[in-house]
Chain A
């Protein structure tokens, strides 16, 4: 089968969990041919993953270039602003039908972007700035007028976000997007062009992460509000049009259902690790040692881990904490904060920041217990890898961590150093229980969290979705092509 794999800001240009997953999928699904579309910032990002043989093409779709994508066949007529106005109306409206109206407007804009004009000509106008201000006033009762700077900033962000609509997608059997949001726009373009069924995989929750990112953006509150509303409508449209949504854990389904995903279309597919790369750790270190493997990042809440370890040391003076992983570029400040906290707690002699490790399985083997103190996670590879190595986890109850660990480790509330410390002490001091949990973890990993299992699941999903997907175009207004599209009925298409 021909698979259109769409990733935003990850594979094949950026290393990370999602990119690892993409690489695993492509290499594992050797019987399928992949067309990779990478949404990038500038289009100049170098690939950091070697291209597997079953990747037919890699296309970069830059979002932040100065020059906008041109329509493939420009028809000489003045840009019609009605669809863009309807999109802004539906973005800000609280009406129950607004989400469907957004989808309809998006479809009209898709048609315009492909055939008529570049959407920048439509969106960067006085008319649109006035329309946005009008809708803002209408739907934000009592709010001050939307200032021109905010309106233009919001329109600018929306224009960039809509650029994937102009993309001419290849005629694949299935579109598989690695997230909702902008990647789903490519999936929608493929669906509206060829009737290609759409699978949306989610490792985190796109909208949740955008809310968190917007919080730290240097944008005014009205701009954040408009962009968040736009993203929400976009995600709703993605979920509604997806033939299948595959979150990587059950917990994330709460968001997806909240945003209108049909529960019948939700199917959790766990990430997997290669058991051969993560063999059972043969022996334990002499000293009682806790291991952390991951980015040195605020989301990992290492402050809680360090405070918990200080409590562990009070009970178990011989204990050690080894942290494997580096700070991402721009995040070095957090490592410095952690080092300062280590000094403040007086635990320098027992804590080692090891930096990034190329032999990750050896990192897990360096301790008796693997600890994850995160405040936000999807289904972290570090937990699965530790399990494959036969090491019990102590993790925080966030995202899919509890689901992954099951009864093979201990799960504690996040941001609770004393409870985290107690769980660590329990496993460090109870040798029999620790070893039993380690064996159970390995068994659970082999049963639920292997690459083979994940790959086989998607192989089956591709075939099922391609065979059974039906397609109904959204209601369109003037200028758009016929609403009735041929149904794609399977591999023969």
Chain B
């Protein structure tokens, strides 16, 4: 009868990035010999050392060998009868003395393989579907109030999703996958029901045309249903649910009725919701207890998600009112793609920082290269977003009034969004005031239609969060 211990984290709580090169230790039984001569010249302890070489060379001390020997079924009696030693402790010390540990400087082992590039990009794309879908329906011909309301619903859903995801991640980190699934299920179903209520209310009160409402609802529901799959790491399966929508869109583009695309979207959304219900099923229907403290902890995550969603929507939706809806849609698609690439940059940064931790011994040597890596990641994000923006501009919107400024806005904003991602991982609260301040300033500046001001505000936002992220990531262990 033995009891479990909490001294090491429950499985899954630690990043599996602690593997080191110490496993290079080798048992070295004097000169190598083979066959008959070998077995005769070794005494019983040597033979035992050979048979338990892995245990002996990786043991941190003789007591670890005693524990291993007992688990192999050895006891004091066998130590005496087979090896002539008084007890197991003496046998373990003898084994520890005979089996050397190789203390050659180990090569830094790279941390476990990061998520693949394709998965990272896909994840980013799917994660950013709300902005894409928001733009898609905001260009529809609906009246101003309905459009604003649709945007608000979409942004609220995004923030809500961030909060739910944070709660679920906390459960996953505590190796409590069933509770994470239950939270995702309950949270998503509630969000779906609330959205039905809100959209129904809009229809009744504002008379929003169904041609605008239905696509909006479908994209919103897909976005909500996507959250559990993204949290649980089922990006490829989630992407597969988009199949009918893609097929419908292709058919419509090839000359079929627009209804085919609509049916495809409906099917995709229905499949995504079914998929969400399937992957979040749990054996026990017990409600996971969410403490007040957890609710307080998730607020910064939800607020920052809300703020980012609002920041993107309010600016890219703004030009629609001045007749640049298609340009805004293109810019939104471009920004969405850049967020996917941003996920790849984030993985690149995490991997490099992990390698740094496995290379350095002195913590004082960490901040400078870590900050350099952060800046490099932000520059990479700027470069890829610029390339995407330039391509979109040249292909679709060259010469369109206001298009250049709109694309410039997204290019300047994009590295800030990546910095927020880094910052939230360490200190979620620190991201709040740059987001809040920029959002307020942007809303105030929006009626002027002065895109230069908006670009300046985006630049200021990016600079602020980059500085904060640099501070937090220079010595992350202090903040965690």
Which residues does A use to contact B, with CB under 8 Å? 7-10, 14, 16-18, 21, 39-42, 44, 46, 63-64, 66-67, 124-126, 129-130, 133, 140, 142-153, 155-157, 160-161, 178-179, 181-182, 203-204, 206-215, 217-225, 227-229, 231-232, 248, 251, 254-255, 258, 271, 299, 301, 330, 375-381, 396-398, 413-415
Interfacial chain A residues near B105, Cβ < 8 Å:
144
Q: Which residues of A contact B89 (CB under 8 A)?
A: 254, 258
Q: Is the CB of A254 within 8 A of B87?
A: yes
Q: Is there an interface contact between A415 and B8, defined as CB atoms closer than 8 Å?
A: no
Cα distance A275–B70 in the bound complex, in angstroms: 31
- Give B residues with C-beta under 8 Å from A: 1-11, 13-14, 16-20, 22-23, 25, 55, 58, 60-61, 63-64, 66-68, 70-73, 75-78, 87-89, 103-106, 108, 170, 173-176, 179, 286, 288-289, 291, 293, 297, 354, 356-364, 366, 475, 477-478, 480
Of B70, B293, B358, B364, which one neighbours A126 at CB under 8 angstroms? B364
CA distance A66 to B297 in the complex (A): 10
Residue of B nearest to A234 (CB): B7
Asked if B360 and A207 make an inter-chain contact with CB atoms under 8 angstroms apart, the answer reads no
Which of A148, A207, A381, A398 contacts B366, CB < 8 Å? A148
**Complex-state Cα separation, A144 to B72, whole angstroms:** 31
Contacts of A8 in B (CB 8 A): 3-6
Q: Which 10 A-B pairs have the closest CB atoms?
A: A414-B73, A220-B20, A17-B1, A221-B22, A204-B2, A211-B67, A149-B357, A145-B361, A225-B60, A126-B363
- Max chain B Cβ within 10 angstroms of own Cβ: one of A67, A208, A299: A208
Which B residues are CB-close (under 8 A) to A255? 66
Q: Which residues of A contact B361 (CB under 8 A)?
A: 133, 145-148, 151
In the bound complex, CA of A35 to CA of B155 (Å): 48
Contact in complex: A42, B71 (CB < 8 Å): no
B7 touches A215 (CB 8 A): no
26 contacts between A and B (CB under 8 A): A21-B1, A41-B175, A64-B10, A125-B477, A125-B478, A129-B477, A130-B363, A133-B361, A140-B103, A148-B360, A148-B362, A148-B363, A203-B1, A203-B2, A204-B2, A207-B67, A213-B8, A218-B16, A219-B8, A219-B18, A220-B19, A221-B60, A251-B75, A375-B72, A378-B2, A413-B78
Known: A129-B363, A146-B361. A67 touches B174 (CB 8 A): no
User: Given that A130-B362, A225-B60, A397-B75 are contacting pairs, would A149 and B5 also be in contact in the complex, using a CB cutoff of 8 Å?
Assistant: no
CA distance A41 to B413 in the complex (A): 40
**Residues in B neighbouring A144, C-beta threshold 8 A:** 103-106
Known pairs A8-B3, A150-B20, A248-B1; A124 contacts B71 (CB<8 A): no
Known: A379-B1, A396-B73. 20 other contacts (CB 8 A): A9-B3, A67-B297, A144-B106, A148-B356, A148-B357, A148-B358, A149-B18, A149-B357, A153-B14, A210-B7, A213-B7, A215-B64, A221-B22, A225-B61, A228-B61, A229-B61, A271-B1, A375-B73, A378-B1, A381-B1
B477, A152: Cβ atoms under 8 Å? Answer: yes
**Set of chain B residues within 8 Å of A17, measured between Cβ atoms:** 1-3
Interchain CB contact under 8 A, B1 and A182: no
Indicate which residue in A10, A153, A379 contacts B18 across the interface (CB closer than 8 Å). A153
A215 with B68: CB separation less than 8 A: yes
- Contact in complex: B1, A204 (CB < 8 Å): yes
Closest residue of B by beta carbon distance from A125: B478
- What CA separation (Å) do A206 and B3 show in the bound complex? 8
Query: Which residues of chain B have C-beta atoms less than 8 A from A206's C-beta?
Result: 5
B480 to chain A, nearest CB (A): 7
Query: Which residue from A124, A225, A228 sits with its C-beta under 8 Å from B480?
Result: A124
Q: Tell me which residues across on chain A come within 8 A of B3, comparing CB atoms.
A: 7-10, 16-18, 178-179, 203-204, 209
Q: How far is the CB of B302 from chain A (nearest CB, A)?
A: 16
A-B CB pair tally, cutoff 8 Å: 230
- Taking a contact as CB atoms under 8 Å apart, the answer to whether B354 and A149 are in contact is yes
**Given known A-B contacts A148-B363, A204-B2, A413-B73, A124 and B108 have beta carbons under 8 A apart:** no
- CB <8 Å contact, B20 and A221: yes
> Would B6 and A9 count as touching, CB distance under 8 A?
yes
Expressed in whole angstroms, the Cα–Cα distance for A213 and B5 within the complex equals 9
- By beta carbon, the residue of chain B nearest A21 is B1
Cβ contacts under 8 Å, A210 to chain B: 5, 7-8
**With the chains together, A133 CA to B76 CA distance in Å?**
37
The docked-state distance in angstroms from the alpha carbon of A486 to that of B1 is: 38
Chain A residue nearest to B67 (CB atoms) is A211
- Shortest CB–CB separation between residue A326 and chain B, in angstroms? 15
Pairwise interchain contact B2-A64, C-beta atoms closer than 8 A: no
The distance in angstroms between the C-alpha atoms of A227 and B64, with both chains bound, is 12
Q: Known contacts A67-B297, A148-B361; is A157 also within 8 Å of B73 by CB? A: no
Chain B residue with the shortest CB-CB distance to A414: B73
> Smallest CB–CB gap between B277 and chain A, Å?
23
Most buried by A among B70, B75, B289, B293: B70
User: Chain A's nearest CB lies how many Å from the CB of B374?
Assistant: 17
- Whether the Cβ atoms of B7 and A231 lie closer than 8 Å is yes
Contact at A126–B72, with CB atoms within 8 Å? Answer: no
Contact B60 A228 (CB under 8 A): yes
CB within 8 Å for A10 and B6 given contacts A148-B360, A219-B18: no
> Nearest chain A CB to B430's CB is how many angstroms away?
16
How many whole Å from A43's CB to the nearest CB in chain B?
8
Which residues from B are CB-within-8-Å of A160?
Answer: 9
Q: How far is the CA of A380 from the CA of B76 in the complex (A)?
A: 20
CA of A156 to CA of B13, assembled, Å: 12
In the bound complex, CA of A207 to CA of B10 (Å):
18
Tell me, rounded to whole Å, the shortest Cβ–Cβ distance linking B250 to chain A.
44
CB distance from A6 to the nearest CB of B (A): 12
* A7 CA / B5 CA spacing, docked (Å): 10
Which residues of chain A are within 8 angstroms of B78 by Cβ–Cβ distance? 413
Once the chains bind, are A398 and B73 in contact (CB under 8 Å)? yes
Give the CA-CA distance A258 to B477 in the complex, in Å.
Answer: 36
Contact A415 B73 (CB under 8 A): yes
State whether A182 touches B2 (Cβ < 8 A). no
Give the distance in Å from the alpha carbon of A2 to the alpha carbon of B17 in the complex.
45
Say yes or no: B363 contacts A64, CB within 8 Å.
no
CB proximity of B60 to chain A, nearest CB, Å: 4
* Contact between B8 and A380, CB atoms less than 8 A apart: no
Closest residue of B by beta carbon distance from A18? B3
Q: Is the pair A150, B18 in contact by a Cβ cutoff of 8 Å?
A: yes
Identify A211's interface contact among B1, B64, B358, CB under 8 A: B64
B169 CB, nearest partner CB in chain A, Å = 10
CA separation between A272 and B293, bound complex, in Å?
Answer: 42
Does the CB pair B7–A157 fall under 8 Å? yes
In the complex, how many angstroms separate the beta carbon of B82 from the nearest chain A beta carbon? 10
Complex contacts, B475 vs chain A, CB 8 Å: 126
B5 near A44 (CB under 8 angstroms)? no
CA distance A225 to B67 in the complex (A): 14
Find out whether the CB atom of B10 lies under 8 angstroms from the CB atom of A211: no
Report whether B4 and A9 are in contact in the complex, using a CB–CB cutoff of 8 Å: yes
Q: In the complex, which of the residues B58, B73, B179, B288 contacts A301, with contact meaning CB atoms closer than 8 Å? A: B73
- Give the residue of A10, A147, A157 whose beta carbon is less than 8 angstroms from that of B8: A157
Q: Which residue among A39, A301, A380, A414 has the maximum number of chain B CB atoms within 10 Å of its CB?
A: A414
B6 touches A63 (CB 8 A): yes
Residue numbers in A under 8 Å from B61 (CB-CB): 225, 228-229, 232
